[in-house]
Amino acid sequence: MASTLPSWPPKMSKEQVDALSRAAVDYALSHSIAYRPLPLSSTGGPPPHDAAIHAPISLLPSPFPAALYEQSQRLQPLYNDLYARITVDHGFLAKVIGGNVILVDEFQAQLWALWNRVRKEGVAQPLHLGLFRSDYLLHQVDQHGTLALKQVELNTISSSFGPLCTRVSELHRHLASSTAFYDLSPHLRIDQMPKNRALETLASGLAAGHHAYLERTAKAAQSDDVVILFVVQDGERNAFDQRLIEYQLLEQHGVRVRRASLQQLSKTAKLSGDDRRLYVTDAALGRQEQVSVVYFRAGYTPGDYPTEREWETRLQLELSLAIKCPTAALQLAGAKKVQQVLADPGVLESLVQDDKRGRFWSNDEVDMLRQSFMSMYGMETDGEGVAIASDPNRAADYVLKPQREGGGNNIYRDDIVPTLQNLDKLDAEQGQQSGSDGSARSIKRREAYILMKLIEPPSHLGNYLVRYDAQASAKAAVPHAVLAPHVISELGAFGTILFESLPSQKDDAAAPGPRVVFEQSGGHLLRTKASESNEGGVAAGYSVIDSPVLI
Ligand code: ADP
Ligand code: MG
């Protein structure tokens, strides 16, 4: 579609910026659009537990093409279905993850070993629960400003900010109602600011898991208290995003939540009975409770497993009868390597146009999903990926990504060639590893990366970014709103799916598709960051939570 995005933000006086940011920050603090502050000590330590600052927000919603927003929402049920199919297809995961990736990526190797251990000891709970967020950037297809929606990645673990963005969407709608944004722009209309169902979708998925568990283990439910367990990081600054899901679960679904870190659970969790029910002892309560669903808001990064004990605890949770959101298999399905392989010719089709794996997708559905892919390459020897990444002129349009989550790991543009040279040097120094099948073929470190063409978002959009700044607020009694003349906005779409692996005859036989118990899509996250480029690459600014105004 041709871009009709207006230049942004509209011109505002200082009085208007001050008044709107005061209103915005008061609304944010009144509606839990909040973060824990940074640790008080410059040498680290936990953030203060009993204080909050407002989360970083954009003052105005950002313009987004209505048709592409709707496309993101239409794509989500397809992505839900696709990632459920990948998760239950052990042969596929074995080929993509269990092949080369685990030989060069320690973290993926540990997760893969964990999953195989669970399969060996017997899967107590065949249900997997996914709470997904598929992230997109707008891509300028040509010189005429034609825009397309391109996927950055799909998150299968700890997809965050849905609840806070639900509140920011309400904040921008509130400002539209209460101030009409001072008639700054004809685009700032409340009927063009979509209601955000992210919080509702996330809580519904967890509640569906809880109720499916109760139905299947009816006996226990009568005598025990059954709760959902949130596995969280110690010192989490984004705790209120998680708390909002907890409150929604209790208020809308009548389900109670407990929170604990992997380290705490190593002391308080235990499995009981032949069916391996998971019990967690709550010290304050003085008794144990049975867990229906384990929701991981930790465990996605190596730092969450400082010692072997955390891995043992993860294994214990994984072996249990509780429904995991996600299972190790579903977490692995979210690897960037899987995303890249899906873009290879015929791979997507083999998963979704095969009667044995579930509903046969129409060609239109396959095309729609494929069109959301950016060009991606593996880094296997002699492939196109290595050719591009070794040529400074061509590498300038690409980003190199390791199999990691959580931001800050990517290698951009000019940094790609030297990074590759370093990896190859390490291989030469330390010796290469041989193939998992015992073949002589050597695996290179670079094969743990994927190469992705850079998405090129429109460059004429800006916004006011409002974030708490202790020094600025000591000097002036207005919130710290900074005009960022060039911003990039990343749209996330939320979906949830509860599905079951059916037993397959043989590991290497075509796996039967998943049996879906519950599925729902809806809601979004818009994150906006200042964009600055330098010769070395893209220096990403600090993201704020935003909401779309549809154009
Ligand atoms: P992570 O798992 O660390 O979140 P992502 O794949 O989401 O990894 O990359 C982090 C950020 O890098 C994204 O939020 C986006 O801003 C930027 N990015 C990633 N891939 C691309 C791409 N192909 N084009 C442009 N920017 C990208
Ligand atoms: Mg990301």
Written as tens digits, the pLDDT of the chain (551 aa) is: 555 799 999 999 999 999 999 999 999 999 999 999 988 877 778 889 999 999 999 999 999 999 999 999 999 999 999 999 999 999 999 999 998 889 889 999 999 999 999 999 999 999 999 999 999 999 999 888 899 999 999 999 999 999 999 999 999 999 999 999 999 999 999 999 999 999 999 999 999 999 999 999 966 556 679 999 999 999 999 999 999 999 999 999 999 999 999 999 999 999 999 999 999 998 888 899 999 999 999 999 999 999 999 999 999 999 999 999 999 999 999 999 999 999 999 999 999 999 989 999 999 999 999 999 999 999 998 899 999 999 999 999 999 999 988 778 899 999 999 999 999 898 888 765 554 444 445 788 899 999 999 999 998 999 999 999 888 888 988 999 999 999 999 999 999 999 998 876 555 566 789 999 999 999 999 999 988 743 222 223 369 999 999 99
pLDDT for 1: 54
Burial class (CB in 10 A: 0-12, 13-18, 19+), 514: buried
Q: Among residues 368, 77, 159, 524, which one has the least CA distance to residue 85?
A: 77
Residue type, 159: S
Helix, strand, or coil (residue 435):
coil
Give the atom of ligand 1 at the shortest distance from the alpha carbon of 152: 20
Return the structure tokens found at 396.
Answer: 């300038």
* Rounded Cα–Cα distance for residues 310 and 546 (Å): 35
Of the ligands numbered here, which is closest to the C-alpha atom of 528? Answer: 1
Reduce the DSSP state of residue 328 to 3 states and report it: helix
Buried b (16+ CB within 10 A) or exposed e, 361-386: beeebbebbeebbbbbbbbeeeeebb
Question: What pLDDT sits at residue 432?
Answer: 55
Distance 387 CA to ligand 2 centre (A): 26
Please, are residues 366 and 353 in contact by the beta-carbon 8 Å criterion? yes
What's the CA gap between 109 and 11, in Å, rounded? Answer: 52
Catalytic, 155? Answer yes
CA of 66 to the centre of ligand 2 (A): 23
Closest by Cα among 251, 155, 260, 157 to 204: 251
Catalytic residue at 133? yes
Token code pair at residue 156: 């299968």
Q: Which of 312, 380, 384, 405 is catalytic?
A: 405
Give, using CA atoms, the residue closest to atom 9 of ligand 1.
407
Rounded CA gap, 111 and 105, in Å? 10
Question: What whole-number distance in Å separates Cα of residue 532 and Cα of residue 378?
Answer: 28
Report the atom number in ligand 1 closest to the C-alpha of 407: 3
Count CB neighbours of 335 within 10 A: 25
CA distance 387 to 383: 7
Q: Quick check: 144 and 158 in contact, CB under 8 A?
A: no
Give dist(CA 191, CA 224) in Å, integer. 47
Tell the residue number behind the tokens 């239409």, with chain if given.
74
Active site residue 160: yes
Q: What type of residue is 186?
A: P
The closest-lying atom of ligand 1 relative to the alpha carbon of residue 153 is: 6
Instruction: Among 132, 137, 397, say which to mutate for ligand 1: greatest number of ligand atoms within 8 Å of CB.
Output: 137
pTM over 0.85: yes
E-strand stretches of 398-478: 398-402, 411-412, 433-434, 442-443, 449-453, 463-466
Q: What share of the chain is helix, strand, coil (3-state, %, to 5)?
A: 40, 25, 35
Which residue is closest in CA terms to ligand 1's atom 22?
454
> Residue 405 Cα, ligand 1 centroid: separation in angstroms?
10
Name the closest ligand to CA 407: 1
DSSP 113-163: HHHHHHHHH--S--EEEEEEEEEEEEEE-STT-BEEEEEEEEE-S----HH
Active site residue 406: yes
- pLDDT for position 538: 26
Ligand 1, residue 409: give the atom nearest the CA: 3
The question of whether 259 is a catalytic residue gets the answer no
CB 97 within 8 A of CB 332: yes
Alpha helices in 390-442 (DSSP H): 392-395, 416-430
The ligand whose atoms approach the alpha carbon of 340 most closely is 1
d(CA 49, CA 59): 27
* Among the listed residues 371, 426, 420, 374, the one whose alpha carbon sits nearest the alpha carbon of residue 395: 420
| Ligand nearest to C-alpha 450 | 1
Give the span between the Cα atoms of 110 and 304, in whole angstroms.
13
Q: What residues flank ligand 1, with Cβ below 6 Å?
A: 135, 137, 152-153, 374, 399, 401, 405-407, 409-410, 452, 454-455, 490, 540
Is residue 21 within 8 A of residue 464, CB to CB? The reply is yes
384 is catalytic: no
Which of 133, 153, 336, 544 has the most ligand 1 atoms within 8 A of CB, as the residue to mutate?
Answer: 153
What single-letter DSSP state applies at residue 285? T
